[in-house]
Amino acid sequence: MTQPAPRAAVITVSDRASAGTADDRSGPLAVEAVVAAGFDCAAAVVVPDGAEQVEHALRDAIASGARLVVTTGGTGVGPRDATPEGTARVLTRLVPGIVEEIRRLATLETPGGMLSRGLAGVVDGPGGSSALVVNLPGSTAAVRSAMPVLLSVASHVVSQLDGGDH
């Protein structure tokens, strides 16, 4: 008997995409990557910038059973970029190595890569509601570069959250 694919969720954080004045291009790329990696994932959810909106979207995704939650956007230094602040409200434990490697690779591509303030960590919840949450920058180039890094460890992290061996 095969186990069902673990659920993932993608949240795009963008004032313009949430208002319908710009297309969400990074969210669908992230969804495509997590599905190709064996996760079950619906279309990306789009929310406006802001810590409160991010916090609520993350809590909703985890409550709906997502074991991996990827955000795109809102990780820079602009006045409305508050994805890390909203994410910090939800995380139980940080896993900094994931975003450190993503930033390292991004900086090799462009100096602006070092400006991402994204976080990675786990949310410990009761009854299998634990999840890995990772913030990615909102550009399509950043998502293409970061997803292989994230997906190289995502299934292992989910297994460990379930009590799997190292």
Sign of the CA dihedral with 149 first, then 92, 57, and 79 last: negative
Is the Cα dihedral 85, 88, 19, 25 positive or negative? positive
User: How is the chain split among helix, strand and coil, in percent rounded to 5?
Assistant: 45, 15, 35
Rounded CA separation 61/2 (Å): 24
Residue in the block written with tokens 């997803």: 147
Give the pLDDT band (50/70/90) at residue 164: confident
**pLDDT tens-digit profile of 54-108?**
999 999 999 999 999 999 999 999 999 999 999 999 999 999 999 999 999 999 9
Average pLDDT over residues 30-49: 98
Q: What is the mean pLDDT of the chain?
A: 95
What pairing do the DSSP bridges indicate for beta strands 68-72 and 40-41? unpaired
Rounded distance, CA 113 to CA 86, Å?
21
Q: How confident is the model at residue 3 (pLDDT cuts 50, 70, 90)?
A: confident
Helix, coil or strand: residue 65:
coil
Q: Which pLDDT belongs to residue 1?
A: 66
What pTM, to 2 d.p., does this model score? 0.96
Which tokens sit at 5? 């694919």
Which pLDDT score, from 0 to 100, does residue 13 have? 98
CATH architecture assigned to 7-161 = 3-Layer(aba) Sandwich (3.40)
